[in-house]
Structure 1
Amino acid sequence: MPKNNIIQKDFYRESGKMLDTPGIWMKCVNPNLHFIYILRKTQRHPKNSILGMFWRLVLRHHQIKYGFQIYPETQIGAGFYLGHWGAVVINPKTKIGRNCNVAQGVTIAQANRGKKEGVPTIGNEVWIGPNAVLVGNITVGNNVLIAPNAYVNFDVPNDSVVTGNPATIIPNPAATEGYIGNKIED
């Protein structure tokens, strides 16, 4: 795959095609993709520049409109995919790898005290199911599936499925097979 901009790589995850600007705009009728487009445009511009301030204002409007509380400071790798519309909260200090899917109702939060004080770091090819909660200074490895409604406040190794509350880890080398489509290489 040729070098393309991060917006094209995010949209590739949905369609399996590298889209030009008109193609991207046509896909922006989808609230999830529209929000990702605005988030990435905001991330491109310095906070105190005129364009940076403009895009932050647009982003804030769409955070409220769509229910996504994801900030431009959040480090998110290429191929980010929001599976469904609404109610996603991600701490701005979180780091997320490439080819990651986040479903509706997900919270990725900071712990303010205790042994795990801090925010999560999430690897590549991670699928986070509906209403899952990840909290604290934890590391989620690569090729990890976090099942719906799981509560994760501990490190998760590569090639794992995490399920339940309290959560348990099930080793699985094919954890995200069939869950993460149209992967981008970077």
Structure 2
Amino acid sequence: MNKEIKKDLYRYIGEDCNKIICQLRYFLFTPGFQYIYFFRKAAAASKLTRLFWLIGLRFCMFKTGIQIPYTTKIGPGFRIVHFGSIVVNPQAIIGKNFNISQGALIGNASGKNKGVPIIGDNVCVNANAIIIGGVKIGNNVLIAPGAFVNFDVPDNSIVIGNPGKIISRDQSPTDKYIVYSLK
């Protein structure tokens, strides 16, 4: 298992990520981690072996409903909290210690906020949240379930509602959600 995948697994189980039995268990029985495994392998593969990993990624896509293309840039410590109907634009840029839940959409837009989102470190995108357009999401941001975000969000904030409203905090609102955080 390569280092980046181990960092992703660390976000699930902490130091147990070094145990072979835990690696095997999460690969076989945790659909979100299984998707991450094939995602990382396809992104790092040479042209010769990429087809094999893309077939595995496609199989996981049909099985889980997750659509995160291997070209999407996601930092280490990626965690799919609950799988199902997750869609991420291939041009999105996402930092480290990123959580995403079922029903989330990170996509592009045209018009006033043309482009795709850039998301910072230690961000949680909860169930059925939508982030669209050329927006910047700061570090330590919690996107609440069902929130609609088409505007920039500063560091240490929570976004709730549709339309989204920003609630600023003095400290990180994601501390209790980002378990086994990478430094």
Range of TM-score over shorter length: over 0.9
Identity of matched residues, %: 41
Give, in whole Å, the separation in 1 of the partners of 2:48 and 2:55.
11
> 1:61 Cα deviation (Å)?
1.5
> 1:174 Cα deviation (Å)?
2.7
Secondary structure of the 1:37 match is helix
Among 59, 67, 70, the residue aligned to 1:69: 67
Give the corresponding residue for 1:30: 30
Judging by fraction of residues, say which structure has more helix: 2
Per the normalisation by structure 1, the TM-score is: 0.93
**2:154 partner amino acid:** P
Give the corresponding residue for 2:76: 78
Secondary structure of the 2:18 match is coil
Give the corresponding residue for 1:171: 168
Give the corresponding residue for 2:54: 56
Give, in whole Å, the separation in 2 of the partners of 1:24 and 1:108.
28
Give the corresponding residue for 1:126: 123
Give the corresponding residue for 2:157: 160
> How many aligned positions are there?
179
Give, in whole Å, the separation in 1 of the partners of 2:124 and 2:177.
7
Q: Which segment drifts farther, 131-140 or 19-28?
A: 19-28
Per the normalisation by structure 2, the TM-score is: 0.94
Secondary structure of the 1:16 match is helix
Flag structure 1 segments of 5+ consecutive residues without an equivalent: none
> 1:50 Cα deviation (Å)?
2.4
On the 8 A contact 1:140/1:155 being kept in 2, the answer is yes
Give the corresponding residue for 2:14: 16
Flag structure 2 segments of 5+ consecutive residues without an equivalent: none
Q: Cα deviation per residue 1:143-163 (whole Å; 9 max; x = unaligned)?
A: 000000000000000010000
